[in-house]
Amino acid sequence: MPDDNVTIVVFSGELDKALAAFNIANTAAAMGMNVSMFFTFWGLGVIKKGGIERGGKSFMQWMMGLMDRGGASHLKLSKMNMMGAGTRTMKSLMKKYRMPSLEEQIKLAKDQGVHFIACTTSMALMGLEEGDFIDEVDELAGAATYLGLASEGKVNLFI
Amino acid sequence: MNADQSIDCVGLYCPMPIVKTAQKMKELEPGQVLEVIADDKGIKTDMPAWAEKTGNEFLGIEEEGGEIKVYVRKK
């Protein structure tokens, strides 16, 4: 169905917000909907490998990448991070309640056919290249691609 | 209620019971019934919503203690 698209703009690069985005993405995919996640700005951190190599980055871009390394396993909570103690506590609580980690949710989303799109403008701004992202990323695109998908969907979220 | 297949989602929270249901349903033949055993109360409203959206038939809920059994028939 053409109007059965679900689009999620993942703008934030924090663990809790990324979990919320993937929770909805995975549920929508399980409901048979066509799900696209558009990673932009800080959201690119969610799909970064988390490496610290300079690559083609300018000095400023490299420094920015070092201060906010990204990678699903390195993300912090948006509240109560407490130098990482809060994030560690949240992760251990999630494990205790058998909730899937962000890394597991990313893999699950891919297995369920969720489409991963990285925003090329944000990539240029941050000096990121395709090789800086995890293999799950399907496409590099801009806002027109997002809007094309969103205009054929009733569920369009910005997280 | 009699079911052809059953999955145990006790101790699992959203989105896992729905994701596991969707995965298991792929193995069933049309007309067969799946039983999902869970203890997260969300499933009582989530499963009818999932069935409605996917076109499968929601058959009902049986509750015993903290255990919730929901039944869906594959379209």
Domain ranges of chain A: 2-158
CATH class for the region spanning A2-158: alpha beta
In this complex, which of A32, A97, A112 lies closest to B54 when CB atoms are compared? Answer: A32
| pLDDT tens digits, one per residue of A63-78 | 989 888 899 999 999 9
List of chain A residues whose C-beta atoms are within 8 Å of the C-beta of residue B54: 31-32
- In this prediction, residue A51 has a pLDDT band, given cuts at 50, 70 and 90, of confident
**Tally of helices (H runs) and strands (E runs) in chain A:** 7, 5
Res A2: pLDDT: 57
The angle formed by the CA atoms of residues B42, A99 and A138, to the nearest 5 degrees, is: 100
| pLDDT tens digits, one per residue of B35-51 | 999 999 999 999 999 99
Query: What are A63's two structure tokens?
Result: 């420094």
pTM of the model: 0.93
Convert B25-73 into a string of H (helix), E (strand) and C (coil): HCCCCCCCEEEEEECCCCHHHHHHHHHHHHCCEEEEEEEECCEEEEEEE
Q: For A51-58, what is the mean pLDDT?
A: 88
* % of chain B surpassing 70 pLDDT: 100
Catalytic residues of B: 14
Q: Could B22 and A33 be called an inter-chain contact, meaning their C-beta atoms sit closer than 8 Å?
A: no
Handedness of CA A18, A158, A108, B25 (dihedral sign): positive
**Measured between alpha carbons, how far is A46 from A55 in angstroms, rounded to an integer?**
19
| pLDDT tens digits, one per residue of A77-119 | 999 999 999 999 999 999 999 999 999 999 999 999 999 999 9
* A113 close contact with B: CB closer than 8 A: no
**Measured between alpha carbons, how far is A41 from A109 in angstroms, rounded to an integer?**
21
Mean pLDDT of chain B: 96
Residue B14 has pLDDT above 70, yes or no: yes
